[in-house]
Amino acid sequence: MFSRKRTSRRARGCSGSRGSSNRTGEEDNRLTPLRAKSIRGKLKTVIMSTSMLSILLTTAGFVVYEYATFRQFLVNDLSTKAEIIGQNCSAAIVFANAEDAQQTLEALRSQPHIEFAAVYNKEGSLFVTYARVQRGPPAPAKPEPGGFRFEQNRLRLFQPIIVNNARVGTLYVESNLEALNDRIVSYGSIALLVVVTSSIVAFLFASRLQKRISQPILALAETSRVVSERQDYSVRAQKISDDELGALADAFNGMLSQIQLRETTLQQANAAMTREIAERNKAEKVLGASEERFRRLFDSHPLPMWVYDAQSLQFLVVNESAMKEYGYSREEFLDMRITEIRPPDEIPDLLANVQSGRPPLQSYGPWRHRRKDGELVEVEIVSHSTEFEGRPAFLVVAMNITERRKAERELKTSEERYRSLVSAMTSIVWTADDEGKFALPQRSWEKYTGQRWEEHAGLGCMNAIHPDDRDRVRKVWEEASAAQTLYESEGRIWHAQSRSYRHFTARAVPLFRPDKTVREWTEP
């Protein structure tokens, strides 16, 4: 049972293959007659095909145009007649005189193409009908607003009947399309006659014109045959015209003239190839020496360096500094991926960074790397995209910044302690820029005077000094600033808690930049 099903499938598969082969063979058979024709026959076929296609398209265009315009003519003619009949029936509809309306419709018998008509009153009820034959088509149950349509080989039209700008009824007219069909048949006969006549004329012209093209080609083919059979390259093709075929003959003759130089050209090409091979070997030696110098520089670099595969993240090569820094041997490194020297919590960020579109040269960090003994160190990474043994890779330089980061954290802790100490002091501790302005919020000043940062920023602090002391304090400050020496002055400063001025002694020393200019002033 199963073997019969498999046989059936194989039979269908073979049948499908034979069907495909048969279709290919049929296409080849359709093309074979044209391929087997001579150049003369092909030219005749091309000229005749082009001429016939142009004539058929033009004739079809005229027929389609006539069909469209005559349809519109039928619509306009039927609309005019319907408007006249409707006006003649208007009085009969207004006075409900069906007999007069019927007589008016009977006038349509003079129009053989009108097969049916009907008049509807204002309420949309059927008033009277007209049919050319006794069993004509049924009248629509209700009139439509107006307009026409073509359907079932008929032209159907609804014409409103208007009296004093009011619609009193509707006229329905149905016409056959025999006039349109007769006109299309007539035009089709004329078109067929034009096509046949044009085909005969085109054939006669094609027979004469193809000789102007085929004769030079046949002469060139004959020359090629003679050269091939006799191996006589002194034979030249006859140039008959100055067009593209003449240029072809000139090119063919030029080719024959150049054949005798073939051996010389081949020898020169062989010599040039030999030189090129020698130059390439020399360049490869130079490249090899350059690669060796780079490898020595790579291996002896004081910073850890490695190259890893951009796809698999496998270590491809590492230097001596990397092995010393991380504690792995070269064999252990080359059996690892870069994710294995990272702590687990940083691996997702590492993979996201690797998969993102990175610039060729990138510096980033800090990252944490894990040594063989499990110790974590902080590093900054500089990577550069490269190619290693034909595959995309990245060259990485790792700098251990553990001690630097430790010093930065200790400095930050020291600064936080200093700020906490300043905040806890009852005296006013302040710093100012080189012009004596508050550039940063002064917490102790704000706590003592009650001035917010918006109020004591810049020189706003002067508003907390007693008005009688401001000029003297400003003068002492200007003298100390000009001399770049210790600033010391006494005055009264507003105390927010007691809401009174209290006597203070203010001191400040300048802190200098490397170029000996004042960077800021601070209380000693």
Residue 255 lies in a domain: no
The pLDDT of residue 136 is 62
What are the pLDDT digits (tens) for 460-483?
889 999 999 999 988 988 888 888
How high is the mean pLDDT of the chain?
Answer: 82
Residue 1 lies in a domain: yes
Hey, CA dihedral for 253, 255, 257, 260, is it positive or negative? negative
Do 429 and 351 belong together in one domain? no
Hey, CA dihedral for 42, 48, 51, 52, is it positive or negative? negative
Residue 42 lies in a domain: no
Do 362 and 391 belong together in one domain? yes
Task: Please state, in angstroms and rounded to a whole number, the distance separating the CA atoms of residues 387 and 308.
Answer: 10
User: Is the CB of residue 245 less than 8 Å from the CB of residue 223?
Assistant: no
- For the ranges 340-344, 357-361, 462-466, the lowest mean pLDDT is seen at 357-361
Task: Please state, in angstroms and rounded to a whole number, the distance separating the CA atoms of residues 207 and 40.
Answer: 8
The pLDDT of residue 44 is 72
Task: Please state, in angstroms and rounded to a whole number, the distance separating the CA atoms of residues 251 and 256.
Answer: 9
Q: Domain range spanning residue 1?
A: 1-36
Do 306 and 372 belong together in one domain? yes
What is residue 517's DSSP assignment?
A: -
Do 287 and 353 belong together in one domain? no
Do 306 and 287 belong together in one domain? no
3-state secondary structure (DSSP) of residue 51: helix
- Mean pLDDT calculated for residue range 243-258: 78
3-state secondary structure (DSSP) of residue 483: helix
Order of strands across the sheet with 166-176?
126-131, 114-120, 166-176, 154-163, 147-151
Residue 193 lies in a domain: no
Do 391 and 454 belong together in one domain? no
**DSSP string across 483-506:** HTS-EEEEEEEEETTTTEEEEEEE
- Among candidates 35, 13, 16, which has minimal Cα distance to 24? 16
CATH code, domain with 334: 3.30.450.20
What are the pLDDT digits (tens) for 105-154?
888 888 889 989 999 998 888 999 998 887 666 788 888 888 898 888 88
Residue 463 lies in a domain: yes
Task: Please state, in angstroms and rounded to a whole number, the distance separating the CA atoms of residues 330 and 323.
Answer: 7
Residue 451 lies in a domain: yes
What is residue 108's DSSP assignment?
A: G
Residue 364 lies in a domain: yes
Residue 241 lies in a domain: no
Total number of domains constituting the chain: 5
